[in-house]
Structure 1
């Protein structure tokens, strides 16, 4: 019933075949015109838009992959730099330890050389002092003997001679 109302119109009770055919032809022409002038360009624009979005997605994916690759390269370079820095630090520590040991060894050798030199010098001076004391003792002995031989000594003279010899030995030093 509603269909009859729409097709026949509000007051008509019979179906008008000419009007229906004219409406159908006008509708078909309208559809063809829409397809040619509206639907075709609209679909072309939609196709272009789809291609643009696809190319942007592809470019973004490519950029993401390149960024990821660059990030991995940077990480590997940073790791390599850290390894090299650690190796340099270790090398510097070893070199510092070697130099420290070398300096300590050289200082000990120099100290031992100075000590040996001082010991030799002390021994030389000691021998010179012993020779000087011996010469002094000999000279004092000769002096004492000459005094003893020059006169006969009593107990008191002997005591005085010893005191005099000790006093002369003290002055010689």
Structure 2
């Protein structure tokens, strides 16, 4: 096989022309499309990173809001416990006061009834004493025999009334 310089030169010229035409009509638009695609991918990556940062910031905000809501709920529960404790103590105090008032009224009522009963008893004793005296004056009998009968009779009368 022989080396032919002319064929090599023609092949080199053909390769050069082909390279020039490919560079002008094929590689330029192809590289342009690839550059646009690279920029688009780069833009999407930066948007994704930005979205990820926003999402993590949003998650942190939601965690903080949830923590705040839990704290407020705990505060509300504690406040409710304190309020119910105060109300229970207040109701207990009112019940004690009411019981004391009712006891005092009952004691007064009992004392009034006792006074009325004593007064009625005095009136009855006075009435019975007057009746006994009048009966004794009406009858003139011997002291030993008739007095015993009268006392028994009046005791029966008094016993029959009560």
TM-score of the pair, normalised by structure 2: 0.89
Preserved CA contact (<8 Å) 1:144 1:165: yes
Matched, 1:20 2:5: no
Q: 1:93 aligns with which of 61, 81, 88?
A: 81
Matched, 1:80 2:80: no
Displacement of 1:75 in angstroms is 1.0
- Indicate the residue corresponding to 1:31 in structure 2: 19
Deviation at 1:144, TM superposition (A): 2.5
Residues 1:161 and 2:137 aligned together: no
Q: CA deviation at 1:171?
A: 4.0
How far apart in 2 are the matches of 1:138 and 1:153? 25
Q: Tell me, which stretches of 5 or more residues in structure 2 are unaligned?
A: none
Give the conservation status (yes or no) of the 8 Å contact 1:136–1:169. Answer: no
Deviation at 1:90, TM superposition (A): 1.5
Please name the residue that 2:119 is paired with. Answer: 131
Relative contact order, CA 8 A, sep 6+: which one is greater?
Answer: 2
1:121 aligns with 2:109: yes
- Give the aligned CA root-mean-square deviation in angstroms: 1.8
Deviates more, 1:52-61 or 1:21-30: 21-30
- Whole-angstrom CA distance in 2 between matches of 1:68 and 1:76: 12
| Alignment deviations for residues 56-103 of structure 1 (CA, whole Å, 9 cap, x no partner) | 000011111101111111111111111111111221222122222222
**Residues 153 and 104 (structure 1), Cα distance of their counterparts in 2 relative to 1, 3 Å cut:** farther
- Deviation (angstroms), 1:143: 2.7
Larger Rg: 1
1:60 to 2:29 alignment? no
